[in-house]
Amino acid sequence: MQTGLTNITSATTTTLVNEDLRTRSINSIAMTNTHASTAVTVELYVQDRTNTVEILSTLVNVAEAYTNPITGSAGGIDGTTGTFDALTNVEVGDEVVFYEPTTITSIDPDGSDPAVTRPETLVIEQSVSPITVASLTSSTVCELSSIVIAPDDAVAKFYQLEKGYIVKTDIPGQTTLVIDSIPTINSTSSTLKIKTTSAGLAVATPLTLKIA
């Protein structure tokens, strides 16, 4: 992003410095919340381009639903929609890796019912690697970048590119926050980004960035 003025009008993540955008380090940012009264939450951070950290370990949460041993649903994920116990701090673009459940239950645990066919081991499959979060539907549901097959209670670990926060705060309405001490960004290995909540953001009441 070049120096000058820009307006952010919605909940989004905006890249300010990135080698791919042929942008450079910046000296200061003045962020003005133009809404009359509603605060906006801003996160200004440097993000590594390659190193990731685990930000959440959770479980697939789609239980088996059988009315009898051969009729019903095996549960788990079979497609691109994933339901989990939680998606706390997960963001679009995060990588997810699936592992077998720590405890496996079966409607026919001893194998005595010949009508029930069960694999000897539960198989986790994905069409490509890595699998990333394409969109967030709710606090427990997300769309994945490719098809995944994973059983209920499979462990899902989410990984995110490492961040170093410069500021994470609320800016009240009709208030300007000036950040002067922005570190030099090596754009070949890191990016500088700003994330905003929706709050009162709109075309008529944007968060205005003055970049120098």
Q: Which residues contact 117 (CB under 8 A, 6 or more apart)?
A: none
Separation CA 61–CA 84 (nearest Å): 5
Which pLDDT value is given to residue 122? 52
Q: Which residues contact 43 (CB under 8 A, 6 or more apart)?
A: 165, 167, 168, 194, 195, 196
pLDDT higher than threshold 50 for residue 156: yes
Torsion of CA 26, 21, 93, 162, to 10 degrees: -40
Higher pLDDT, 66 or 153: 153
8 A C-beta contact, residue 136 and residue 87: yes
**Dist. CA 142–CA 138, nearest whole Å:** 7
Distance CA 17, CA 21 (A): 7
pLDDT value of position 111: 53
| Tokens describing residue 212 | 């120098």
The candidate with the shortest Cα–Cα distance to 182, out of 170, 196, 167, 195, is 167
Per-residue pLDDT tens for 162-183?
999 999 999 999 999 999 978 8
Q: Among 6-20, 29-43, 96-110, which is the least confidently predicted range?
A: 96-110
Name the residue ranges covered by the structural domains of the chain. Answer: 4-51+162-211, 53-104+120-161
Distance of CA 10 to the CA centre of its chain: 17
**Higher-pLDDT residue of 92, 185:** 92
What is the average pLDDT across 158-163? Answer: 95
* Mean pLDDT computed over every residue of the chain: 84
Residue 107: its pLDDT value, please? 47
Residues 32-60, mean pLDDT to the nearest whole number: 95
Residue 54 pLDDT? 97
Could you give the CA distance from residue 209 to residue 31 in angstroms, rounded to a whole number? 5
- pLDDT for 187 equals 75
**CA nearest 78: which of 154, 7, 9?**
154
Class of domain 4-51+162-211: mainly beta
pLDDT tens-digit profile of 101-153? 654 444 454 555 555 544 444 557 676 788 999 999 999 999 999 999 888 88
174 is written with which tokens? Answer: 């009709």
The token pair that represents 197 in the structure block: 């909540």
Return the percentage of the chain with pLDDT > 90, whole number.
54
